[in-house]
Copies of this chain bind each other. A is one copy, B any other.
Amino acid sequence: MKSEDIARLAGVSRSTVSRVINNYQNVPEETRKRVMKVIEEYQFHPNNSARVLAGKKTDTIGLFIVSIAERDNINRIYRNNYFSPFVDAVIDSANANGIYVLVNSIYTIKDYEKIKRAFIERRIDAGIIVGTEKEIDVIADVVSMGYPFSIIDYSPEEVVHRIKKGRVAVINSTDDEGIHRMIEYLAGLGHRDIGILSGRMNTYSGRVRYEAYQKALKEYGLISKKEWVLKGEFIKKTAAQEVLKMINHGKLPTALLCCNDDMALSAIEVLQNEKINIPEEISITGFDDIMPASLVKPALTTVRVPLYSMAQKAVDEVLKMIGDTSDSLNIFNLETELVIRDSCKKIN
């Protein structure tokens, strides 16, 4: 079944069928109805390739999930607590707007070429990327070719610096405020020795969270001891090693601020294995508020990142940009929220 068949059955030309499908105004109601009836009767849907080739949009956006650090892991992004809900949310939002989502995983630097390729092959109208570290070149390229992009968790300064023309949206959360509130909370509980289990510094959120920690400590007149600055890279295993090293090293801080929940969960596990009680002997905090955070014992005090809203925003912005060819650079910072649960304790 093709538009020609519909045309014949409705007694019009293919042009008219096309006009009906594309909602042209200059089709008399009567004709439109006649054509629509045939279309519905035969459940006709135009061949997308033909439409695209003739100049229509693909009505598809590409979602690119970067997971380079995990590439040696057999399970790779499988079991990744952070990305999964994000993927779901993007699909959800896009589908709700009648837009298809082509999802791609990126495990190596070379995989970045897949992004450009998807555009050159004309498979997608726009892209959303999450998990990029410093590899923004391909994005800059694609954007300069005229394709819109939403970038999640990336330095706005760098985007401004690297991307001079085109359509981009940068979507972050207010991680600095989140960390600030957390330190404020811990300081309020009487903590003065607050360690940090930092994330990957190649990552925007990794840097922001770390810097916000340093800044907030100063603000509250606290000092960050070198042996309490642990480099966890956002990875459970690395985090576990760092925490174990700290335990073996000697004195513990009274609180350990972990830069994501995955690492916090890992820290809790290691500490409990070593018979160190949480929160009695050490308070632990996380960041992100992934699902298991509320399930562990003690339930994790953390900062909620509005992943779902961020995904929604990314989709909304990208769709807006598809509809408007003028250059634009929009930066969004969605609100984080302190979630107090049971992993921190007041001290004297």
Contacts and interface: CB of A to CB of B under 8 A. Distances in A.
Contact of A77 (B60, B76, B81, B92): B92
Interface stretch (A82-90, A155-163, A279-287): A82-90
Nearest to A308: B78
Most chain B CB neighbours (cut-off 10 Å) among A44, A89, A292? A292
A79 B87 contact: no
A47 interface: yes
A95 B123 CA distance: 15
Contact of A123 (B78, B84, B100, B265): B100
A103 B91 contact: yes
Nearest to A46: B121
Interface core residue of A46, A78, A292 (most chain B CB under 10 Å): A78
Contact of A47 (B60, B76, B122, B297): B122
Interface in A72-113: 75-81, 83-85, 87-89, 91-92, 95, 100-105
A123 B100 CA distance: 10
Interface stretch (A25-33, A49-57, A181-189): A49-57
A291 interface: yes
A265 B294 CA distance: 11
Contacts of A77: 88, 92
A61 to B, nearest CB: 11
Contacts of A297: 296-297
Interface string A299-330: 00000000010000000000000000000000
A39 B340 CA distance: 57
A106 to B, nearest CB: 9
B92 A76 contact: yes
